Amino acid sequence: MFYTPSLRSLAGIALTLIANASFANTTDSQTPLVQSKEFRYEEPYQAAVQNSGNSDQTDIAARQSTSVLQGLSVEQKQEHREAKYNGTSKQLASTSLVTTSDFWIYDSWLSLDLDLDYDGYFSKFTLEFDADTIYADAPVYAVIYLGTNEQYESIHVTSEFYIYGEDGSDSFVIESELIRGFPPRDYDVLIELYDAYSEELVAVADYYADADLSYVSLESENYESVYEETVVIVEEHGGSTAWYSLIALLGIVALKRFGKSA
């Protein structure tokens, strides 16, 4: 016997197609993308150009003589560092390469800022850390990583900035927004601090040293699924107008689904 589906059955198919079209937008076929902003002293940060003038001049000359990027502008240095570290991955064990005690990360703080779908995973967070040194002042920069199972991927290379001895007010703040490439997980954060003169890794902060950097519930924006309920009201009767209307609805759903995947 030939079966003719009812209007109610076809309406259910239409709703399923709409749901599938929305879910297709969460697929992760592109490389990770993160947008970050930097702040210091509660103001947007601009890269340091010169030191504060507090250091002993002999000490400055000795340290500057070891500068790997001597003669380059602030912008050129930043380009070099981003080219070197952006998109890199590493094992946590490699951070044991720190051989100096002249620098350290005193403390770090992390706050979760935006969870569009209220599933407990955030697409925007703020990281603040306070780095100290034995010197009166010293130029440094940091590389920020996210990872799981002690495998980390870099998400941001900071601008060069100065730290001042053990000053507790010179912390550096980074607001990061995960655009794509990060499925819902509990991530660990890794902070690497580099001497801007020698380009050497001089300090590390990780979840072993600071619990604030462990089990951070994050996901990128393309996983922030904000569902919009679509209600279809179907009145069953024998007229052909209802069939034509439902066929038109299915056509709209098909255009919506395949148009977004094009």
Q: What is the pLDDT of residue 108?
A: 97
CB-side exposure of 152: number of CA atoms within 13 Å? Answer: 25
Mean per-residue pLDDT for 29-46?
A: 92
What φ, ψ does residue 66 adopt, rounded to 5°? Answer: -95, 5
Closest CA to 125 of 200, 176, 62, 199: 176
> Cα dist. 240→3, 14, 61, 107, 245 in Å?
17, 18, 89, 71, 9
Checking if the pLDDT of 253 tops 70, the result is no
For residues 140 and 157, is the Cβ–Cβ distance under 8 A?
A: no
How many residues are there in the chain? 262
Distance CA 79, CA 27 (A): 31
Distance CA 189, CA 129 (A): 12
* Residues 155-180: tens digit of each pLDDT: 999 999 999 999 999 999 999 999 99
Mean per-residue pLDDT for 127-152?
A: 96
CB atoms within 10 A of CB 160: 18
How high is the mean pLDDT of the chain? 81
Domains, in order of start, for the chain: 7-25+234-261 (no CATH), 33-223 (2.60.40.10)
Kindly give, in sequence order, each residue whose CB lies less than 8 Å from that of residue 41, ignoring residues fewer than 6 positions away.
Answer: 169
Q: What is the pLDDT of residue 47?
A: 84
Q: What is the pLDDT of residue 18?
A: 44
* Residues 63-118: tens digit of each pLDDT: 655 677 888 999 999 999 999 999 899 887 766 678 889 999 999 999 999 999 99
Distance CA 262, CA 244 (A): 27
The two three-digit tokens of residue 45, written as one number: 């940060």
Kindly give, in sequence order, each residue whose CB lies less than 8 Å from that of residue 233, ignoring residues fewer than 6 positions away.
Answer: none
Closest CA to 147 of 204, 187, 95: 187
Checking if the pLDDT of 240 tops 60, the result is no
Checking if the pLDDT of 188 tops 50, the result is yes
Distance CA 164, CA 104 (A): 12
pTM of the entire structure? 0.74
Mean per-residue pLDDT for 226-249?
A: 57
